[in-house]
């Protein structure tokens, strides 16, 4: 069963990425190669650097099979036709 974690700050993401990387038996260099990014980016993500590009972070999450979801009270309105929105 999958667990859902609610993050309240960017620096909470680093330990999650590091945990998944280690459980997958990957070094930072290995993960960087799988994700198609530089090894320094993995270090930066794992240490909570606030200037990591979202695209880079998304590649790492995808490589580790970590899903990224957005949720809000009005998210269901996004799927309605534009003329139905208020």
1-35: pLDDT as tens digits = 678 877 777 788 999 999 999 999 999 999 999 99
Contact 39, 32 (CB under 8 A): yes
- Domain ranges within the chain, ordered by starting residue: 10-67
3.30.420.40, 3.40.250.10, 1.10.10.10, 1.10.260.40: CATH of 10-67: 1.10.260.40
Total Cβ atoms within 10 A of residue 18:
17
| Positions of E strands within 24-83 | none
Contact 68, 20 (CB under 8 A): no
CA distance 10 to 45: 9
Q: How many helices (H) and strands (E) does the chain have?
A: 4, 0
The overall pTM is greater than 0.85: no
């Amino acid at each position: 069963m999958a667990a859902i974690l609610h993050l309240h700050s960017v620096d909470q993401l680093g330990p999650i990425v590091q945990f998944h990387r280690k459980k997958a038996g990957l070094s930072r260099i290995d993960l960087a190669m799988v994700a198609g990014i530089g090894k320094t980016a993995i270090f930066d993500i794992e240490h909570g650097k606030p200037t990591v590009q979202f695209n880079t972070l998304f590649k790492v999450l995808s490589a580790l099979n970590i899903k990224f979801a957005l949720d809000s009270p009005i998210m269901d309105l996004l799927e309605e036709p534009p003329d139905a929105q208020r």
